Structure 1
Amino acid sequence: MACSLRCVVVCGILLAVLDILHGLVTLGFYGYQFIIESFYLCPLELPVEKCHNKIYIYEQMFEMRVYIGIGEGIACVLFSIFYIIALVKHKPSLTWVWLMKSFAVIAINVYYLAAWLIRQGRYDHIEWEKQDYEDDFVWAGEGLTLAQIIIMILFCLIGGIFTYKVCEERTASRRNLRHRRKWSSHDATAPPLNYDEEEAQYLNEALTNSDKTLPVRASKQSLSEISRTDTFKHSTGV
């Protein structure tokens, strides 16, 4: 743990920037597929029957993943920004919220990859030619899943060090605060060393006397009261 808290925060911010790029790539890929689906899925030279079959298979296998992928890309960016704010504000509990997004992204990608592999031969009875975008979806899902796993491992490493550093800093701050309160509460009335009990009581009375007058030793009267008594005696004597 030789690195400072500031270095850990910088590393966490760099990791968040990397995750933002991951989210932008996700958003760009699925946004591109949404545009292809909306305008270029069926070229003019494609027969009507094959066009309908192509649209049907796309809707069954890939359309929902496109919509989820767009939301996934936006969520990656938002969670990364939230993660950066938590790092800057030194809030370890909030930084771990990022794991929710990471687990969700991995689960979604694994689910759709398994679904695509299982359903590959389900539409063989339909007049259909395998399209290039099928492989694009599979490769994109594998690549984004692997990238998210690597980012999550780095996040757990940085998050653990960050949490330890912040807790260590807060513990030291509380310890210093307790020492300061202890000394400040005893400084005003604590007698010096090597004083006997009578001298310590005398000094305490001198420090806490509201009239701000030193009391005379072995007497409970203040100097002002004694001076008034002496003056009264002199005046009556004359």
Structure 2
Amino acid sequence: MNTWSLLREYTAARLAQGITGHSLPTRALLDFQLDQARARDAVYSTLEWPELLTGLTTILPTNAAPIRLQSGAPDRATYLKRPDLGRRLNESSMRQLVQLNATPADLSIILADGLSATAINRHALPVLALLLPETARMGWSLAPVCVVDQARVAIGDEVAHALQARMTVILIGERPGLSSPDSLGAYLTYNPRPGLSDESRNCVSNIRPEGLPYGFAAQKLLYLLTEMHIRKLSGVNLKDELLLG
């Protein structure tokens, strides 16, 4: 067995696929087409609302029902063509948050479909089931947890600002890859507010059993949140120095 074939035990990358004439073997070609189809399907996947809302209710504190929101993009086609609309809430959802008259909180958690609702459906609840008890142990107050449809990363800043939260974590489906149609990302921001750009956020990516496992992801998120809480900053000025082993 050659070196390239040995490496296939450690990566989903397309190594040592073989060759038949001037092309790939039929099995390798079919596998590629299947993964490509799964990635396309993930982009058009939808949030499994009943399962998500029921699951959140079981892991959230008593009387902390999750809130369902919608971005300015009314459907998937608009979302893909108009990224700007996915970064803001629609008028109805903004009114819904304003009417809550929320009291200031330490942490706001948002779930968003992003470019792969499949990632949220599969991985958001297991991550939160590990993270939420730790944030409670830290004594942090929790704003109402929001689930946003047709949303992009920046919408987390608007939601958390409306809820008067000092820190925010938005869990969102990342752009699908050929080996990872269900990769979950987490973006963390201190003092969230509309208009912030990417340098103000920290990112933990590829959260899934085949990537960054749930336990490690929750540990890393808690570390970053703790540093944000202590140092009152996030983004490029906050370095991730946690060693996972």
Instruction: Please classify the TM superposition score into its range, dividing by the shorter chain length.
Output: under 0.3
User: Larger % of strand: which?
Assistant: 2
Give the structure-2-normalised TM-score: 0.21
Give the structure-1-normalised TM-score: 0.21
